[in-house]
Amino acid sequence: MDALQTRASGLWRALAKRYPHAHCALDWTKPHELLIATILSAQATDVSVNKATPALFAAFATVRAFSQADEAQIEPYVKTINFWRMKSKAVIESMRMIERDFGGEVPRTMKQLVKLRGVARKTANVVLGNAFALNEGVVVDTHVMRLAQRFGLTKHTEPLTIESDLMKLCVRRRWCQLSHLLIAHGRAVCKARGNTCASDAICQKYCCEGTKTGVKKAAKARPRVTSLPQPKSTQAPPAARLDRRQPTATAPRPSRRKG
Ligand code: SF4
């Protein structure tokens, strides 16, 4: 285990301890509902999606019900969400394809999922990891991208390359939970604006971006944050793993939505 892997292992433990209940923030009870919620959440907040989906899922309870509807019928339910026209079309067409080509069941492979309209790798990772406990990759959203960079887990800026770096640093069964942990810290502490660098213990120990964000000022009163070693190569085999001693934190988590 090299220095970066050791550091990543420590970061995992710290985040898992801080956010033991980190999980997908979208409300859902059935796999197709998670798929739809994730499609709707692109460039929109989870909060806005969670406000809209209870009525939508009550009106269209099954994949078949969605597949037999048309965009105009679901648009009233999603009009409060960004890009609702385009997303309505994606929801209907993806449900029709699931009904027609997959027997009404949400497919469980990356290859099949990305054939659906409105579904790219990130959405497929959300569905596979959360609905089926299948860790095919790491969900890289804006929080994960920002935190992975600031914690020195990647030096890249492209989501696919960042995902590859994170997959090499984390044991496969934790890929889904890794993104939940980074997102939890992103929402609680390391916000895109107005983060709380100066007062957070995890940040003080692991962030290597302090000089850009405010840690530098706070660092006058504490030991200097050192730079992280970088991965030797993005092509390296995924021999490195975050701490194997930790219990699996990820399990398919049922929605907290009632009814
Ligand atoms: S120190 Fe600041 S920039 Fe770094 S992870 Fe924490 S909140 Fe984010």
Reply yes or no on whether the pLDDT at 229 is more than 60.
no
pLDDT interval class at 232 (50, 70, 90):
very low
Angle, vertex CA 90, rays to CA 192 and CA 158, nearest 5: 35
Per-residue pLDDT averaged across 57-78, rounded? 97
Kindly state if the Cβ of 5 falls inside 6 Å of ligand 1.
Answer: no
| Proportion of the chain above pLDDT 90, given as a percent | 68
What's the CA-to-centroid distance between 165 and ligand 1, angstroms? Answer: 20
CA atoms of 56 and 24, how far apart (whole Å): 19
- Listed residues 98, 131, 164: the one ending a domain: 131
113: in domain: yes
Least-confidence region, from 4-8, 28-32, 232-236: 232-236
Q: Compute, in angstroms, the gap from residue 184 CA to the centroid of ligand 1.
A: 13
How many helices (H) and strands (E) in the chain?
14, 0
pLDDT, tens only, 102-111: 999 999 999 9
Give per-residue pLDDT as tens, 68-96: 999 999 999 999 999 999 999 999 999 99
Q: Is residue 23 scored above 80 in pLDDT?
A: yes
Q: Over 228-243, what HEC string results?
A: CCCCCCCCCCCCCCCC
Catalytic positions, written as ranges? 122, 141
- What does the pLDDT read at residue 145? 95
Instruction: Please report, for the domain that includes residue 145, its CATH number.
Output: 1.10.1670.10
Q: Which residue range(s) make up the domain with 150?
A: 3-21+138-219
CB distance 135 to 176 below 8 Å: yes
Give tens-digit pLDDT for 142-151.
Answer: 999 999 999 9
Q: Which of 15, 213, 216 to mutate to test the pocket of ligand 1 (most atoms within 8 A of CB)?
A: 213
What pLDDT is attached to residue 79?
Answer: 97
Torsion of CA 246, 192, 136, 181, to 10 degrees: 20
148 lines ligand 1 (CB under 6 A): no
Q: Is residue 166 part of a domain?
A: yes
Give the C-alpha separation, 84 to 194, whole Å: 29
pTM score above 0.85: no
**What's the confidence (pLDDT) of residue 210?**
55
Does 51 reside within a domain?
yes
Are 124 and 166 within one domain?
Answer: no
**Residue 243 placed within a domain:** no
How many domains does the chain contain in total?
2
